[in-house]
Amino acid sequence: MTQTTEAVEPLAGYTVGITAARRREEFGAALERRGARIVYAPAIRIVPLADDTELRAATNGCLSGPLDFVVATTGIGYRGWIEAADSWGMLEKLTEQLSGATIIARGPKAKGAIRASGLREAWSPESESSSEVLEHLVENYDLQGRRIAVQLHGEPLPDVVETLRAAGADVIEVPVYRWVPPEDPGPLNRLIEATAAGAVDCVAFTSAPAVVSYLQAAEHLGLGHVVREALRGPVVAACVGPVTASPLLRERIPVIQPVRSRLGALVREIVNEVPRRVGRVLPVAGHLMDVRGQAAVVDGQLIPLSTSSMALLRALIVTPGHIVSRRDLLNVTPGEGGDEHAVEVAIGRLRTALGDPRIILTVVKRGYRLAYEPERMLEGDQQWRY
């Protein structure tokens, strides 16, 4: 008999935490269409541009004298700067200053925004890397005494700014779209606690400031080490691109990220990678069982499981087919009570949920094991298909 899970969406049974402040509904809806359960927990909020006194002060600094270079790091940031200057009545003067400078765009979106404003970039790296922008400036120009405006986007660029200043430049940091912590930290704190407990399978980030805010909040909760270890193990960290990923990589936390830094590409990366990294497909007692983050799929049927049932099943699949003692199973389900009889009851519930009691075998006086049949997988697509 052919076993298949084709009818089950690829992310059904998985939980994804979304930390984004912008486009979170669009992002979440795209993942929900693939079956995921979404936990919304904005890690940051945006300071409105028109109210941002730091941006206005930096703009005045740019207008105080001729600019030699302008570095545009993001399209949305550059456009936001132009729109804010327009709302303050400064657009004509700012455009005049920018037109007299050598403009460098970090990537294609920044390049497009520059051209949409009626100006033209002098150079842009193919890598979309701030490091390559810095290298280009330092190696090709004498920066002593030059005035350089660096458009930021949410997070400072200390390496870039400090290196330019060390080369003798007068650097004006333009903090477009400044981020601050969320007004209500409750959802973020709950996501952090869920990460620490392994109750989510993936945490998705679309900006470096959100990563920084998330890790700082974990520290404030006293869960910094636990969260970092969870992200190095059972919980997948997903980032929209290398800039977003950099704070995690500095912490030696592995990430998944798409080749192109786009939201749709990130959705596809999560769809492809989370099941591969978190899920496990096993032939058991004549069935094909896909153990997912918070559920199991048996012969194509999605079976949501309670936290305690999921903990028991995960303990049994660590070394499938091997015996796990009642005492060891009690340790992974402390909420079930303090004796081994509680484990028997919990195993009974799990058997009932999975639909076939033969999937979990009782080994008298020793414990339990999965009715694991690895030889079934070796028979290939004639018997099993997934």
This prediction has a pTM of 0.74
Tell which CATH architecture fits domain 280-382. Orthogonal Bundle (1.10)
pLDDT of residue 381: 41
Mean pLDDT in residue range 82-105: 96
Is residue 153 within 8 Å of residue 77, measured between CB atoms?
yes
CA distances from 7 to 268, 297, 302, 376, 386 (A): 18, 11, 9, 22, 11
Q: How far apart, in whole angstroms, are the C-alpha atoms of residue 150 and residue 160?
A: 9
pLDDT of residue 154: 62
- pLDDT category, 377, cuts 50, 70, 90? low
From the CA atom positions of the chain, what is the Rg in Å? Answer: 26
Comparing CA positions, the residue from 312, 364, 305 lying closest to residue 336 is 312
**Token pair listed for 155:** 């997070």
pLDDT score of 1: 32
* Parts of the chain belonging to CATH 1.10.10.10: 280-382
Most confident of 325-334, 356-365, 372-381: 356-365
Q: Looking at per-residue confidence, does 379 or 67 come out higher?
A: 67
Tell me what the mean pLDDT of segment 81-97 comes to.
Answer: 95
Is the predicted pLDDT of residue 48 greater than 80, yes or no?
A: no
User: Given pLDDT bands bounded at 50, 70 and 90, which one contains residue 376?
Assistant: low
Q: Whose CA is closest to 82, among 45, 119, 53, 134?
A: 119
What residues pair up with 281 in beta bridges, in sequence order?
A: 290
Coil, helix or strand at residue 369: strand
The per-residue pLDDT for 338 is: 62
15-44+182-278 under CATH 3.40.50.10090, yes or no: yes
What CA–CA distance (Å, rounded) separates 290 from 300?
9
Q: How far apart are CA 67 and CA 119, in angstroms?
A: 14
- At 127, the pLDDT band (50, 70, 90 cuts) reads confident
DSSP category for residue 384 = B
- Domain(s) of CATH 3.40.50.10090: residues in the chain: 15-44+182-278, 49-179
> What does the pLDDT average to over 69-74?
95
pLDDT for the residue 385: 37
* Dihedral of alpha carbons 206, 208, 214, 215, sign: positive
Q: H/E element holding 124?
A: none
Q: What is the number of alpha carbons within 13 Å of residue 20 lying toward its C-beta?
A: 19
Confidence of residue 231 (pLDDT cuts 50, 70, 90): very high
Q: Give the residue-averaged pLDDT of 118-132.
A: 91
Beta-strand pair 287-291/280-284 = antiparallel
Q: What is the mean pLDDT of the chain?
A: 90
Task: Encode pLDDT of 162-182 as tens digits.
Answer: 999 999 999 999 988 777 899
Contact partners, residue 382, CB within 8 Å, separation at least 6: none
Residues 232 and 254 sit within 8 Å (Cβ to Cβ):
yes
DSSP 211-263: HHHHHHHHHHTT-HHHHHHHHHTTSEEEESSHHHHHHHHHTT--EE--SS--H
- Cα–chain-centroid distance for residue 61? 36
pLDDT confidence of residue 18: 98
Query: What are the backbone angles phi and psi of residue 193, rounded to the nearest 5°?
Result: -65, -40
User: Which CATH architecture fits 49-179?
Assistant: 3-Layer(aba) Sandwich (3.40)
Lowest mean pLDDT among 46-60, 168-182, 199-213, 349-363: 46-60
pLDDT level of residue 29 (50, 70, 90 thresholds):
very high
Give the mean model confidence (pLDDT) for residues 47-71: 90
